[in-house]
Structure 1
Amino acid sequence: MSTKTSSPSFSRRDFLRTSSLAGGGLLIGFNLFTACKSDVKPPIDLANLNYKDFNAFIKIAKNGAVTIFSPNPEIGQGVKTAMPMIIAEELNVAWDKVFVRQGVLDTNNYTRQVAGGSQSIRFGWDALRQTGATAKQMLMNAAAARWQVDASELSVSDGVVTNAAGESLGYGELVDDAAKLEVPEGVTLKEPKDYTIIGTDQINVDMDKIITGKPLFGLDYKVDGMVYAAVLRPPAFGQELESFDATDAKAMPGVIDVIKIGAKARTLLEKEEVNWTAQLSPSEKVVVIAKTTWEAFQAKKAIKAQWKEASTLESTEYQDQKLNELLDGKDFTTLREDGDVNKAFAQADIVLEQTYESPFLPHNCMEPMNFLADVTKDKIQLVGPVQTPEDAANTVSELLGRDIGDIHLEMTRQGGGFGRRLYGDFVYEAAEISDTIGKPVQLVSSREDDMTTGVYRPAIKYRIKAAIKDGQLTGYQLKEAAVNGNMYGLIPNFFPAGAIENYRVDVANYDSNITTGAWRAPYTNFLAYAEQSFFDEIAEAMEVDKVQLRLDLLEKVKGTTDERIQYDPERLQGVLKMAVDKSGWGKAPEGTYQGVVAYYCHNTHVAEVADVQIENGMPVVKKVTCVVDCGIVINPLGANNQIVGGVIDGIGHAMYGQFGFKDGVPTSNNYDTYRLIRMKEAPVVDAYMIQNELSPTGLGEPTLPPAGGAVANALKAATGKRIYKQPFMADPDFWKVPNEQILG
């Protein structure tokens, strides 16, 4: 349940500081998790700064310049801007005088520098504020000592401390004195009403570099003597390399060598202790080493490889059959069971049951997978875009049999992550290649490599069943069947858990050769559509208002003592009521059809209303009204971008994302055969954020899952027919138009 912002207690041992910076100054930071090692000291060399968890470090130079180091991977979610804003707010410095730098990884002492789950701001909120407030108090104490007054008599504004006599000292004049003082405890944090930075629109700190093409991304990184690598992987999932002939490839321009890798990965897999983010392949691979990426790509096509067939090379039809068998079978794991669901169905006046289907989906990051590795006898330099840098460093250490202390990993800005870069397969390939050839190498994947040899959202089917007795919803059962399992498993404590007396959630999966994993908004990206579409169907069967059904069910959860429930019924009601009001729900002009959803995931409450029209027999999503309750909004400009992007991404994949397999080979390998939403198809998104003083939660993912449900419900209003399978546009018979028109 929700809690208001608080002033957490941090001990002196949690605070880190040093004044031993070149040129003088103060470097300070906070250990954000008290379970971390207490004897860790921050490094002195700013060129090789290391961090702990979501540690925030501040460098204040003698000239007053403030540099805030952002330790988390930046994948477009805006943490490189928002996290420093939180520190700057409590530090009381002018935002336009703050410099932000990306941090690096220290695998010796620090953990959990991760981008995933929309959790960075949520986990960092208290300690980031504490970092800024404690630093400010140290500087005020230094000024008080110099003036021989009590610190309570001083005021601070924009990095300047002022006393009652009107005298002032800038932070830069105080840093050396502050570094000699005791770290204060129990500092006072600002009240939200006093914020001057938090809650204001701030442009992404990397924006100028992004729009002018300055080096920021993994593909931009270059070192002297670097070569390029392209990897030939098995064309079908489950195959393994038997032999290859690289004679023609080696004769091509720019080709330096053709090698084989994979033996080290196979050995590591045999230990059965590999981290879940590794996604190591059991097959050996052929690698082209060349002077340029283009030359490596071209030579890779000339390699003649023989592949050993797997016992099962899956096709979409096979997967469909296996998932149906799971739904019809009895081999399920029950994640939650309240009451007696079977009894509720047996006594029901009406029993509804529907099955919802979704395909595999690739991630399609704008920047294809890439990484630079420079392995020498003294050190291992790793540079590039990865969401789990510590896991990557640890696995490279195990893969190459090297001490973790030899590894230095730098994070670049990432051209999209969406869960794909949680998995470090491309990092390990780059490391093994560099270790083999003894040169710095940048591994680069083509779009075809990314789409056909990647990690996918698993194909999933949900079977949902509801019991209605005497006009009341008395039973609810949700079954999930997923290829390889749905990543973290279905979340059984989201809505409608707690609102229905007899409630059960079951999951089952079968193991596949196809690599699957997290895809933006894991476990909810498809579930939200299925459940919210089904809730509309329940309302129709009960002959009640769709919005009122949701509000009434949420009312039953208020005051619950069930600590398993993760959502807040009042907050979910709040976003739903505002979405109904702001969208003009029920008052749409003729020819405009609306669909509504209310959903909670990744700690954030969201409601959306989609406005759909039918033009030339085809659905057009005109507008989506989206209301979000994510607590205090750090950067409204960045938050709005996340909301809009999530909605459009959710609509695009729900309507058009079609991906399958034929004998283990993906049916699409580039955008000419894989349909994405077009710019002209993107709707207007009216975004609203509930204003409150609750601790902030995430925004990178929560607006994506509800979007598909809102559109599906609007399409039912428009056509009179329900859609039970994604993508919505996959069936030309449904729309009575040629398939070519659907594909665009």
Structure 2
Amino acid sequence: MKLAATAGGGLFLGFSWTSSVASALEVVSDTALAAGKIDFNSYLALSPDGLITIFSPNPELGQNIKTSFPMIVAEELDADWTKVKVIQAPLDTNKFERQVTGGSGAVPHSWERLRKAGATARQMLIEAAAKRWKVPASSLSTENSMVIHKASGRKLSYGELVTEAAKMPVPAEVKLKEPKDFKLIGKAVRNVDNHEMVTGKPLYGIDFYRDGMLFAMIQRPTAFGMKLKSVDAAAAKAMPGIVDVVTFKNNVAVVGKSTWQVNKARKALKIAYEKEGALESSADHDRLFKELLDSKEATVRRKDGDVDTAFKNAAKVVKGEYQCPFLSHAPMEPMNFFAHVRPDGVELVGPTQTPERARGEVAKLLNISPEKVTVELTRLGGGFGRRLAADYVLEAAELSSIIKAPVKVIWTREDDMTGGTYRPAVRYRFEAALDAKGNMIGYKLRGVGINSGNPTREDNFPSGAVDNLLIDSVEHQSPITTGPWRAPITNFLAFAEQAFLDEVAEAAGKDPVQFRLALLEKAKKAPVGEIKYDIDRMKGVIELAAEKSGWGKKKGVAQGFSVYFSHRSYVAQVGEVELKNGAPVVKKIYAAADCGQVINLSGANQQVKGGVVDGLGHAMYSNLTFKDGAPEQNNFSTYRLIRMKEVPEIDVHFVNNGIDPTGLGEPALPPTGGAVANAIYKATGKRLRNQPFMQQAEFKSA
């Protein structure tokens, strides 16, 4: 940017990412910029050749913000999209806020400030043209990086106006577009990294290379609850290309000149382990769940009304228990990170969802100031919550500090699948009390989780719609490491809740869709306690999904319904299932999403479809089990993922309600399991209460 300024001048605008609304923008002279006196939070740059450049601060792992962020700026700027360039910004906590990919919150967080940045630049360009032409600014319009005076037919490109615009005062207030006037937002725009991805250009952490760096692979304990006892590394050290074998904490790192060489040498290590804690097995967890569901020691998460009396006076009580297994995040790019620990500071490069956490934990590990640690972000080849943790970053940093050299730590697929962290295993117990008319007058939910924190979401639907409600939880602490997995907790809880609501609707003799709508209507007219979801938005997606799927009107196909609220958004789904050789086959899934304003229609469609595929595949097939603390699945040959031929047709629809964007990276996943399970019940008469579905005895042999 400094070179661009000295070469030809330009308009450089800094806009704040650290307040709830965009701060006033500051115009900077070319001389000041070239002299390095600028301290912006983030940058929008317009150059005389018409190029528009912005830095995208958040990690990109496929959620499309690296495309969506510049689209928002370009919309308000009325820019020619072909001249927009986006650059991934490094970690900078002075300039940026929330440099995090997680919680489906990037676009909601930055929506208004990005719009104001673009609109302010546009207004300044208009003022520059008005001054040159000596006409009122109100007589000018913009389009496709041009300022236009319709009365005279004159036009000037943004590039022609940049130098003059840089001298204009920054407007304190700017008018943002009405959604009806959007030309770019809401359209399908291809990802800005598509060309690099398709042509194999370096983008990901696994691609990163630095001359002189070493490669390392680490042997970790083979089971959770084991610790390192002894190491014989003589054979490994003697192998070609091996520089060193280093032991630190419970790890043994093999360092060398290539991944092939260190991987071969690691297999030559002779390591002994000893027991440090409990060596838990999946069979132990099954017994544990049963005990804790009956425990009298539970944490009450929400209690409304008189639950005991409601169940005592119920005309009918419905009960059901649902269980989910541990799951691997299994991103296609295994964990990897580069670190160079020097006397004057630390350089970190790689794929992380939480660069500030990575910096902070490395600084703490090495007992240095965080200001001495830099973090450069690469594109992430998947994360799904796994890269929220910084364990693999710490490994690289600690190893570099020991060997006094730059090093890149790479995990194999087996490392990735057996080294944690996992989606927690959970079991739920539901009970519903019905009166003589089939109204739900009581509701109980207990969640028992293994390292899950709170395995419930006590304020989600149907809370607020039932007069008497009790939601509590019990937690088991295990040596098995767990962490957030795409749509944390709700990724399974939604299936359990929505499948159980279908059971209740059937017991009440009511249509599942109408049963949910009636509960929402009750919550609207006579809410019980605090309601933290938007009733009208939830009703909207329910009605849209029912309409688009032809709910209840089709023959020859079994339909199942589900709806869920998570990450500020609402998604309803209808799954359609047919039987083939006695086994259920998912043929089609309809999804209705309310995520507020859709930024990029292409990206939004893929986020919903990707969430559906993720939710379907893991509900149907995936399972991670343990024996004596060790994972029994260590690669895709034993850990089952959905296959391309098993992906059904997915029909996506969006609610256009004109509100600001809410989350979309995760909300489409939670409803899928319930929609499919309820459809399978319609097709087979079999209630599915445990995942994965296709490991049910009757489906295994079909």
Please indicate the TM-score interval, normalised by the length of the shorter structure.
over 0.9
Contact 1:464 1:476 in 2 (8 A): yes
- Are positions 1:695 and 2:649 aligned together? no
**Which residue pairs with 1:74 in the alignment?**
60
1:310-349 equivalent positions in 2, closer than 5 A: 310-349=276-315
Deviation at 1:407, TM superposition (A): 1.7
**Which residue pairs with 2:163 in the alignment?**
176
Contact 2:230 2:273 in 1 (8 A): yes
Q: State how far apart, in whole Å, the 1-side matches of 2:40 and 2:622 are.
A: 39
Deviation at 1:108, TM superposition (A): 4.7
Q: State how far apart, in whole Å, the 1-side matches of 2:551 and 2:39 are.
A: 51
Q: 427, 450, 474: which one pairs with 1:483?
A: 450
Deviation at 1:167, TM superposition (A): 3.6
1:423-502 equivalent positions in 2, closer than 5 A: 423-471=389-437, 472-486=439-453, 490-502=456-468
Q: How many residues align?
A: 695
Deviation at 1:191, TM superposition (A): 0.5
Assess, with a 3 A threshold, how the Cα gap between structure 1 residues 405 and 339 changes in structure 2: closer, same or farther. Answer: same
Q: CA RMSD, aligned part only?
A: 2.5
**Which residue pairs with 2:183 in the alignment?**
196
1:24-423 equivalent positions in 2, closer than 5 A: 24-34=9-19, 57-108=43-94, 110-163=96-149, 164-262=151-249, 284-423=250-389
Give the secondary-structure state (helix, strand or coil) at the position aligned to 2:553. Answer: coil
- Are positions 1:669 and 2:656 aligned together? no
Q: State how far apart, in whole Å, the 2-side matches of 1:249 and 1:221 are.
A: 26
Contact 1:108 1:405 in 2 (8 A): no
Give the secondary-structure state (helix, strand or coil) at the position aligned to 1:351. Answer: strand
Unaligned 5+ runs, structure 2: none
Contact 2:338 2:408 in 1 (8 A): yes
List per-residue Cα deviations over 1:620-674 (Å, max 9, x = no partner). 1111111111111111111111111111111110011111111110010001111
Q: State how far apart, in whole Å, the 2-side matches of 1:36 and 1:577 are.
A: 34
Assess, with a 3 A threshold, how the Cα gap between structure 1 residues 367 and 51 changes in structure 2: closer, same or farther. Answer: farther
Give the secondary-structure state (helix, strand or coil) at the position aligned to 1:76. Answer: coil
Deviation at 1:558, TM superposition (A): 2.3
**Which residue pairs with 1:268 in the alignment?**
none
Letter in 1 for 2:103: G
Contact 1:40 1:109 in 2 (8 A): no
Unaligned 5+ runs, structure 1: 1-16, 263-283
List per-residue Cα deviations over 1:100-135 (Å, max 9, x = no partner). 211111145544100011111111111111111112
Assess, with a 3 A threshold, how the Cα gap between structure 1 residues 688 and 189 changes in structure 2: closer, same or farther. Answer: same
Deviation at 1:21, TM superposition (A): 6.5
Q: 551, 569, 594: which one pairs with 2:559?
A: 594
Q: State how far apart, in whole Å, the 2-side matches of 1:173 and 1:696 are.
A: 34
Identity of aligned residues (%): 49
Letter in 2 for 1:99: K
Assess, with a 3 A threshold, how the Cα gap between structure 1 residues 469 and 542 changes in structure 2: closer, same or farther. Answer: same
**Range moving further from structure 2, 689-698 or 35-44:** 35-44
Give the secondary-structure state (helix, strand or coil) at the position aligned to 1:556. Answer: helix
Deviation at 1:168, TM superposition (A): 3.3
Contact 2:242 2:261 in 1 (8 A): yes
Contact 2:414 2:635 in 1 (8 A): yes
Deviation at 1:214, TM superposition (A): 0.7
User: TM-score, normalised on structure 2?
Assistant: 0.95
**Which residue pairs with 2:584 in the alignment?**
619
**Which residue pairs with 1:266 in the alignment?**
none
Give the secondary-structure state (helix, strand or coil) at the position aligned to 2:387. Answer: helix
Assess, with a 3 A threshold, how the Cα gap between structure 1 residues 489 and 716 changes in structure 2: closer, same or farther. Answer: closer
Q: State how far apart, in whole Å, the 2-side matches of 1:252 and 1:258 are.
A: 11
Deviation at 1:177, TM superposition (A): 3.2
Deviation at 1:538, TM superposition (A): 0.4
Contact 1:50 1:105 in 2 (8 A): no
Deviation at 1:139, TM superposition (A): 2.2
User: TM-score, normalised on structure 1?
Assistant: 0.89
Assess, with a 3 A threshold, how the Cα gap between structure 1 residues 438 and 531 changes in structure 2: closer, same or farther. Answer: same
Deviation at 1:19, TM superposition (A): 9.7
**Which residue pairs with 2:490 in the alignment?**
524
Q: 608, 633, 637: which one pairs with 2:602?
A: 637
Deviation at 1:589, TM superposition (A): 2.7
Q: State how far apart, in whole Å, the 1-side matches of 2:301 and 2:621 are.
A: 31
Q: State how far apart, in whole Å, the 2-side matches of 1:129 and 1:233 are.
A: 47
**Which residue pairs with 2:624 in the alignment?**
659
Deviation at 1:413, TM superposition (A): 0.8
Q: State how far apart, in whole Å, the 2-side matches of 1:319 and 1:420 are.
A: 23
Q: State how far apart, in whole Å, the 1-side matches of 2:590 and 2:436 are.
A: 34
Assess, with a 3 A threshold, how the Cα gap between structure 1 residues 560 and 392 changes in structure 2: closer, same or farther. Answer: farther
Deviation at 1:27, TM superposition (A): 2.5
Contact 1:50 1:103 in 2 (8 A): no
Deviation at 1:467, TM superposition (A): 0.7
1:492-641 equivalent positions in 2, closer than 5 A: 492-558=458-524, 564-590=530-556, 592-641=557-606
Q: State how far apart, in whole Å, the 2-side matches of 1:110 and 1:638 are.
A: 24
Q: State how far apart, in whole Å, the 2-side matches of 1:399 and 1:171 are.
A: 49
Q: 664, 667, 670: which one pairs with 1:705?
A: 670
Give the secondary-structure state (helix, strand or coil) at the position aligned to 2:488. Answer: coil
Contact 1:227 1:292 in 2 (8 A): yes
Give the secondary-structure state (helix, strand or coil) at the position aligned to 1:105. Answer: coil
List per-residue Cα deviations over 1:279-300 (Å, max 9, x = no partner). xxxxx31100011111111111
